[in-house]
């Protein structure tokens, strides 16, 4: 399904400085993840209104749970909003995710369709093609990532807990770009929806790695040795379940959309 393209927008992040003492009192913390080597970002553009999307989501979920590559794959599901006019409004859809998909169309000349899988911001194909995605994963994991990311997550306590996230990026190899952006995504797992109408009407769908927030954390020069760190804070929406929230960070060239490094915490518990 194709719709009119929309310029890509990324919302501005809330700095932990604004929360001050709340961040300092964060209750639980995760240690920085050990460097697993190259990490690959899989972005699936999907919708509950699309009958071919659930099989593609199952492929994404299986890859995220695969013990052979666990910690080296960052699966993210972006639910687009252009299917919402087809009879069922996807509760996880957002115009921002449609805009992000449109940015890939501009960079890759891919068109806008679902289910679309984008691998490390540089290759795209139908999301249900498991053989193709496994082949792409193998190729990417054989190459060292030029930017190293360190990610630490601390979860506060209370009725509406906050996440405090420390992210550090360092360029270790030459990158053919002028500037790089470090983006931080919050995603939620184990979301169950009874779909009443549309192409999946009458089905109960379970959704994983559903992106809830995507924030521009910092910008970074693309030259070797460039290094930046930032601490961010997020107040979680009351509708989200804190024990099902994960965090991912990745480095992207905003011009080419290529991703040059990533790190993730698939659960913050």
Please report, for the chain, the start and end positions of each structural domain, with discontinuous segments joined by +: 11-265
Q: Measure the CA–CA gap between 190 and 209, rounded to whole angstroms.
A: 8
pLDDT at residue 86, as a whole number? 87
DSSP 8-state symbol, 158: S
| Architecture of the domain whose range is 11-265 | Sandwich (2.60)
Extract the tokens encoding 73.
Answer: 């794959």
**Percentage of residues of the chain with pLDDT beyond 70:** 84
pLDDT at residue 257, as a whole number? 97
Least confidently predicted of 7-16, 110-119, 120-129, 148-157: 7-16
Mean pLDDT, residues 118-132 taken together: 95
Q: Measure the CA–CA gap between 243 and 90, rounded to whole angstroms.
A: 23
Residue 222, pLDDT above cutoff 60:
yes
Q: Counting every residue, how long is the chain?
A: 269
- What is the average pLDDT value for the chain, to the nearest integer? 87
pLDDT at residue 211, as a whole number? 98
- In which element (H, E) is residue 245 found? strand 245-252
Least confidently predicted of 5-14, 105-114, 245-254, 256-265: 5-14
pLDDT at residue 208, as a whole number? 96
pLDDT at residue 4, as a whole number? 36
pLDDT at residue 157, as a whole number? 73
Question: Which of the four pLDDT bands, split at 50, 70 and 90, describes residue 52?
Answer: very high
Residue 120, pLDDT above cutoff 80:
yes
Tell me which residue of 56, 63, 57, 59 sits closest to 138, measured CA to CA.
63
Tell me which residue of 246, 255, 269 sits closest to 75, measured CA to CA.
246
Q: Measure the CA–CA gap between 186 and 189, rounded to whole angstroms.
A: 10
Task: Give me the residue label for tokens 């040059």.
Answer: 260
């Amino acid at each position: 399904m194709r719709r009119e393209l929309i310029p890509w927008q990324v919302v501005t992040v809330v700095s932990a400085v604004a929360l001050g003492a709340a961040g300092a009192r964060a209750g639980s913390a995760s240690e920085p993840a050990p460097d697993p080597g190259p990490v690959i970002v899989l972005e699936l553009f999907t919708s509950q209104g699309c009958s071919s999307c659930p099989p593609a989501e199952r492929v994404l979920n299986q890859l995220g749970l695969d013990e052979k590559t666990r910690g080296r794959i960052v699966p993210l599901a972006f639910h687009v909003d252009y299917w919402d006019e087809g009879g069922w409004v996807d509760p996880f859809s957002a115009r921002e995710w449609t805009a992000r998909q449109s940015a890939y169309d501009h960079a890759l000349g891919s068109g806008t369709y679902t289910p679309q899988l984008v691998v490390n911001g540089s290759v795209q194909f139908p999301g249900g093609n498991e053989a193709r995605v496994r082949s792409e994963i193998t190729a990417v994991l054989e190459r060292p990532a030029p930017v190293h990311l360190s990610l630490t997550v601390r979860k506060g306590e209370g009725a509406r807990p906050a996440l405090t996230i420390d992210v550090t990026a360092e360029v270790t190899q030459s990158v053919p770009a002028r500037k790089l952006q470090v983006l931080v995504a919050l995603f939620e797992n184990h979301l169950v929806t009874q779909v009443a109408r549309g192409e999946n009407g009458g089905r109960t769908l379970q959704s994983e790695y559903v992106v809830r927030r995507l924030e521009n954390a910092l910008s970074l020069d693309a030259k070797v040795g460039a290094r930046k760190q930032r601490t961010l804070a997020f107040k979680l929406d009351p509708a989200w379940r804190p024990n099902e929230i994960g965090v991912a960070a990745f480095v992207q060239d905003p011009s080419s959309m290529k991703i040059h490094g990533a790190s993730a915490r698939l659960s913050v518990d």
